[in-house]
């Protein structure tokens, strides 16, 4: 019975990772195609749907950690997924995701990953993580005037719940806690994971 559930787990995770990889490849394709043919101002409209689907699917990764399908701690997964969902649904986020999901796709489907992909998985963040955090904070800042003018996602009183929500100020708070709240913890965690994974691959 344990062997059956192990097989079922691998089949599910293989399907999940290859599906999300396909979604992120679509995002990259539409971005590059639109940049080449039309210009940067049309990129988001072209990539919006696959981007929303691919990034929102990552919510399942939190559940995977909670139920024990994967060993990734929820304390590391939750802030990463939450911040990206905030950017995608509230503001705007392919290379990192293509590396990530192809890595797990190979691992769950074939039981191994090519050495070059293993290295990319555990090394690309050294550059991509700080540049990603910087660009995400920059995107929030650039979006603030639009959020304020459009009152996007704002809830005004009076209403049935007798409560209000101002997305403009929520975005400012998010921007303030973004770097100190996530960067040190996640970066040191990823450095430890890199050392562990690459040391193991050398021994093998």
177 or 30: which leads in pLDDT:
30
pLDDT value at position 97?
A: 80
Q: Helix 125-150 and helix 167-203: axis angle, to 10°?
A: 170
The model's confidence at residue 204, banded by pLDDT at 50, 70 and 90, is low
pLDDT value at position 14?
A: 94
Q: Please confirm, yes or no, whether 136 is among the known catalytic residues.
A: yes
Number of domains within the chain: 1
Which one of the listed residues 16, 122, 129, 178 is annotated catalytic?
A: 129
Which one of the listed residues 97, 122, 136, 178 is annotated catalytic?
A: 136
pLDDT value at position 105?
A: 92
Q: Please confirm, yes or no, whether 129 is among the known catalytic residues.
A: yes
As a whole number, mean pLDDT of residues 77-97 equals: 71
Across the chain, what does the average pLDDT equal? 85
Structural domain range at position 151: 2-203
Whether 18 shows a pLDDT value over 90: the answer reads yes
**How far, CA to CA in Å, does 118 sit from each of 13, 21, 107, 197, 203?**
18, 16, 10, 8, 14
């Amino acid at each position: 019975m344990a062997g059956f559930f192990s097989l079922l787990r691998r089949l599910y995770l293989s399907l999940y990772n290859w599906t999300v990889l396909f979604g992120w490849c679509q995002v990259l394709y539409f971005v590059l195609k639109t940049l080449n043919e039309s210009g940067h101002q049309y990129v988001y409209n072209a990539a919006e749907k696959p981007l929303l689907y691919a990034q929102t699917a990552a919510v399942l990764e939190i559940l995977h950690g909670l139920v024990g399908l994967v060993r990734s701690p929820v304390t590391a997964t939750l802030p990463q997924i939450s911040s990206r969902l905030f950017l995608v649904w509230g503001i705007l986020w392919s290379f990192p995701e293509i590396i990530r999901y192809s890595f797990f796709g190979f691992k769950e489907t074939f039981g191994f990953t090519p050495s070059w992909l293993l290295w990319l998985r555990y090394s690309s963040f050294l550059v991509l993580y700080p540049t990603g955090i910087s660009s995400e904070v920059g995107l929030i800042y650039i979006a603030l005037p639009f959020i304020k003018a459009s009152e996007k996602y704002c809830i005004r009183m009076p209403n049935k719940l007798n409560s209000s929500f101002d997305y403009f100020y929520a975005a400012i708070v998010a921007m303030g806690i973004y770097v100190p709240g996530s960067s040190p913890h996640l970066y040191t965690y990823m450095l430890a994971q890199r050392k562990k994974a690459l040391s193991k691959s050398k021994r093998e």
